[in-house]
Amino acid sequence: MASSSSSSHPHGSLTNPEVKYDVFLSFRGEDTRENFTSHLYSALSRESIETFIDNDLRRGDEISQSLLDAIEASSISIIVFSERYASSRWCLDELLKILECKKEYAQIVIPACYRVDPSHVRKQTGNFGDSFLKLGERFPDKMQSWRNALTEAADLSGFDSRVYRTESALIEEIVNAILKRVDDTFQSENEDLVGVRLPMKEIESLLRTGSTNVYKLGIWGIGGIGKTTIAGAIFSKISRHFAGSFFARNVREAEETGRLGDLRQQLLSALLNDGNVMNFPNIDLNFQSKKLTRKQVLIVFDDVNHPRQIKDLVGRLDLFASGSRIIITTRDRQVLANCEVDEV
């Protein structure tokens, strides 16, 4: 059975210090945006894996700087090869950047061939090759670098949809491989941090995982003492026990930069396991309330400095199903009082 590309360390000695995303998804929108890629993104979001997906329509041939930056800011890139992937200069230039980051930062690269023969990708043959040759008529100077990149990527260990009975089985396999990579990275980065294990044990006890009510826990302290690290360690350890989970990072910053609406979409998409939420930026939160009341969830609201931010993201904290757990990290203890947390 296929598995992700191997590397003993997710990041090499030249690790990019500006990592923002766990996963970057490279795909041809017309082929897979409404099916496979959407379902894969939803599954990754459900596991609270920070994933960059381009939701804008791609215009023209030139790849945008924002996408190049997003690739460089990712730990893992998944390349969804579809039959017409190589008909897009945009996709192929993404591929070049991904392989550059693999070389420079030891970025993990995982190819997933969706309804296309991996050998056709490797050798640029079949319908895949026909699309590639047609594009090459317009950009002959790029052909060799693109050929080399396609061959290199297809030679990496990855996934072939043809060997899976269902699409959901393929997605589950990919997500599990990503989860292992993310977990390994987190453990590697935090195993030597002083003072994390003891607070984790205490917080796990306070979370009362056997309790049936909605339990709200606050982590309070000055900046830089490890609130986010501890919350992340707890989240990584217990999130799989919940029907839905999400780590809302840097809530204060999201509000200050006007991205709170984007964060809400990501949260709803993850908790509801519905990638279509991402396509409706003005969706009414109340419209989703009934669905949320049936979900036992784990949510971390990181770096909150006003209760309205949580209200804007999810409405009321008591609307979730019994057994849900809410963790709030903040530098302002009054925020926790106003949110009526059960323990600080």
pLDDT digits (tens, 9 = 90+) for 283-327: 555 545 567 777 888 999 999 999 999 998 988 888 888 889 999
CA 115 to chain centre: 23
Tell me: the pLDDT tens digits for 44-90?
Answer: 887 768 889 876 545 556 788 888 999 999 999 999 999 999 999 99
Tokens describing residue 26: 């490279």
Statement: the pTM of the whole predicted model exceeds 0.95: no
If DSSP codes are grouped into helix, strand and coil, which group holds residue 84?
coil
In one letter, which amino acid is 263? L
Query: Rg of the Cα trace of the chain?
Result: 21
Question: Does residue 131 have a pLDDT over 50?
Answer: yes
Residue-range domains of the chain with CATH: 21-181 (3.40.50.10140), 194-338 (3.40.50.300)
Over residues 118-127, mean pLDDT: 96
Tell me: the pLDDT tens digits for 175-189?
Answer: 988 887 776 555 555
Q: What is the pLDDT of residue 187?
A: 55
Helices and strands, number each (H, E), in the chain: 15, 9
Q: What is the pLDDT of residue 317?
A: 84
Query: What is the residue-averaged pLDDT of the chain?
Result: 83
Distance CA(145)–CA(158), nearest Å, equals 21
Active site residues: 94
Positive or negative torsion for Cα 16, 20, 22, 24: negative
Tell me: the pLDDT tens digits for 150-165?
Answer: 999 999 989 999 999 8
Question: Does residue 281 have a pLDDT over 70?
Answer: no
Contact, 103 vs 77, CB < 8 A?
Answer: no
Q: What is the pLDDT of residue 325?
A: 92
